[in-house]
Structure 1
């Protein structure tokens, strides 16, 4: 009997150790990990530079609270804000906390309450971020949600025009709806959304929890679309596996989050900050981001070539190394079969297989993953008929 609440549908394997793109279970079996801890281990497992930075901080101090000035926090905030082309940072512990803070910041700054989000979005599991999420299954059993969130179809600018008004505090969106099925915002929709926010005096919040920190081949996903959001949230890949989240905002918001307006006991923890600095030092390098874009094209080409003759594959969608493969066979059974064959992948939405390889994955590892996927899909498609 477990003493843990059964909140997770756990897999049948238990990790023993992990390094780079590979994870090893208790029985010594090796798996190519194209989940990256759900988009967290962007530099693979236990990257040496991050581990070194963590160890150095472990020998200084682990926690002192945010009552103290901390040079490394300032350095991390500067790194993060400059990469986003913005000005100010608040550090939290997770993506949900970052989005919660962003919602508070936007409502207080605008002096309004209504926030528009999108169907099939995912923003977290706190009460406000759960309410912001455009998926009913996330909210089931929890009673009435916060009523100030409104939901419209993603990539539907006319629906947004019908809903936005002078009572709207913010529009909150993902550049790629990760949990919702790897649905990518199109340029016209995103540009017009930004223009509508300006027209109505609403803030534009971009949730980069999964798309940020190099995942799409840019520091942040919104940079593919020439957007200038008011607030950006980040987490997952920021700490290479250590818990950290961040809200990034423009200078105009400085007075809104003054002393006592928001806080976090553990936000910006020194160990997590050390991990974040080392992570950003690698990922925000132009040559590194260029390599992610090259690997993205390589993976997309390999998938198109290898899966085009498999009838169960309906569509492949991707931005950077964030890939969704829409299929019409039972997804949970397929993912289990992939694990049996040594490849770890994820679901996204009801019928989309999601690949989030480490940004450091070698082309040989991409080849290995595609070969396993192709062979498994071929065999599984036959048995599913």
Structure 2
């Protein structure tokens, strides 16, 4: 059956080519007739797939779902012509050949979303120089595969040249043994794809530690959302000033212990070029910030016009002590005393981290009590000293008075004896 459909389809295309010389009315009739035939041939759903209109990402679209079908069957020559979303996930494809799977532009003319995630793909072959077979593709999902991106120290291409692509998902897409190569070759992968209209780029869970080229994302001038969460980044060693349209930078769950002043300055500079109501959003949540290293970062969070997502949840750590909320953290010269109080038995382990105001009131109260006690002690000491001096003075006066009386009595007695 599949062979017959292919044969009839190619006969129809051949008939169009052979009849190009006919007069216009006959040519229009022939094109109309051929179109109806092509539609009839190409309306059938691929084996083991589910086809039809359904709600996809908030809109009604014609979806062909080939999840867990095992392998590519008969290629996708005869996808329904209305296909807007093709989901081909949960299969076992070590090597994926673009040209063998998608060869006819008539078939993929309406396709806007292609999901090839979770297929254990290691290598992508036969990549066309231009992506004429999917002229309207806007979203490509290659997440959760095992892509090899380097061979004999040479980067491998994995993407055709997508002029229309707006969203690219590469979440956990690469082989673990090639994570180091990803740090080095990501620039070439993105640059070779010519993704000039890309808006969203997902690179989460790829064990990225750094970027060889600071301008790694500068080949994406229209990028608005960059997702780098769940990697191993220790600093922001990539340029953002070239991303004039960037609206969201997701850096959650990396290995950032501090953020350099030059990087926060770059974010401020990028924000300064924003139009009204088009702010830059940055998310640093769940990074292991070190309290002694982030005083300038804290001040930036409290003063910047950049929207710092989850800033009330940002924590820092110091010497195994209880984590502190960065925006509530005291300046460095008071930090030690704060931790000392919080680690004391008087501070409940189950108590939540308190605000600066309540902590300040406690410290002030303790200082007030100490001052009062010292003042009372000083007053008591003063009174005691005065009493001692008074006693000494009275004693001397008494001794003098007693001595004078004795002398007078002696003098009187001596006169009487005479």
- Tell whether the structures are fold-level matches, with TM greater than 0.5: no
TM-score of the aligned structures, taking structure 2 as reference length: 0.21
TM-score of the aligned structures, taking structure 1 as reference length: 0.22
**Structure with more of its chain in strand, by fraction:** 1
For CA contacts below 8 A with separation 6 or more, give which structure has more relative contact order: 1
Q: Which has the larger radius of gyration?
A: 2
